[in-house]
Structure 1
């Protein structure tokens, strides 16, 4: 009798566990999107310059799969069921490279590391300080950047970029879309700086 009761208890426990597993919400995966609008035509140059994008650094807090949201009390929410589909740093590098290739149509844009393509003429080094969202408020991009002459190992230009957008919709798809928009604006700024170089 006791043995039969134990079997029923094990069976009941197993069913409870299966039921709990079945109620776990699905994980949603997101990617940042590159520029979709047609770029402005750039000024023709005699020779295509090779421009390397990277290395790119991001805060340690963001080096995770989960999307991070800052809260007003300086705490953070890490969304277990809303995650980046690929490492965030790689996705940012891909989007910036794609954006600049669209904006700088007379240049060849390479993502770091570019050793397979040989050397580049210029290197754009990026340190992302902020690339996140404040709960139901804004998305933020803040970065220091430098453009280096690879041949002479000299600094040609540098700057500090800060972009903020209000969030009308605090859903994760809208947040990711707004973050993509900040990258588009950042790409425009880098494109303007590269366009000034001879």
Structure 2
């Protein structure tokens, strides 16, 4: 009886180890802020809060989602975002906006300093599409709210080439596309602040 129990234990342990060794290896990705392009001509002293930022439900998940055909996508179980995009994108936009505005007072709305900001940027990302080996497209609309009822709206479609067939290239292209959105948002913030058309 003891030999049978021991043999069953060994078989169970072997099967468990075998199952573990076949588990797929998951790779995690993050977004990266744009490199600073240098000092801006006119610094921005007011505080800015970014958020909330909405994203399509299709990509609001841990896995990378890529477009295979116009009517088919793939949800990649073995390639995941290190944190939810709905949290990472607002932080990335804030990081990109700071240097563009020449300000160290750009926050995400959920940070303590963001709640009392003089300007607030609400962003609605309506399309976030990645085609491996080809490009990443981000389509976004935003509203900049200033003092009182002042507001300025904008919209942009930014397409970035994915330089490579791997998913690192997809993450890098998405970071660049979001930097492009930040550049357009910065123009709206400055227009609202300085009264430019």
Same fold flag (TM > 0.5): yes
**Contact 1:49–1:107 (CA under 8 A) maintained in structure 2:** no
Separation (CA, whole Å) in 1 of partners of 2:9 and 2:124: 54
**CA displacement 1:81-101 (0-9 Å, x = unmatched):** 211111111111111101111
SS, match of residue 76 in structure 2: strand
**Contact 2:132–2:170 (CA under 8 A) maintained in structure 1:** no
Within 5 Å, give how 1:87-166 maps onto structure 2: 87-106=84-103, 108-116=105-113, 119-149=116-146, 151-155=147-151, 157-166=152-161
Separation (CA, whole Å) in 2 of partners of 1:102 and 1:137: 29
Aligned residues: 193
Pick the aligned partner of 1:177 from 140, 157, 172.
Answer: 172
Within 5 Å, give how 1:43-58 maps onto structure 2: 43-44=42-43, 48-58=45-55
Q: What stretches of structure 1 of length at least 5 have no aligned partner? A: none
Q: CA RMSD in A?
A: 2.3
TM-score, length-scaled by structure 1: 0.85
Q: What stretches of structure 2 of length at least 5 have no aligned partner? A: none
> 1:141 deviation in Å?
0.5
Separation (CA, whole Å) in 2 of partners of 1:39 and 1:193: 20
In the alignment, which residue of structure 1 is the partner of 2:69? 72
Q: CA 1:117–1:165 in structure 2 vs 1: closer, same or farther (change >3 Å)? A: closer
**Contact 2:109–2:115 (CA under 8 A) maintained in structure 1:** no
Separation (CA, whole Å) in 2 of partners of 1:106 and 1:18: 54
TM-score, length-scaled by structure 2: 0.86
SS, match of residue 175 in structure 2: helix
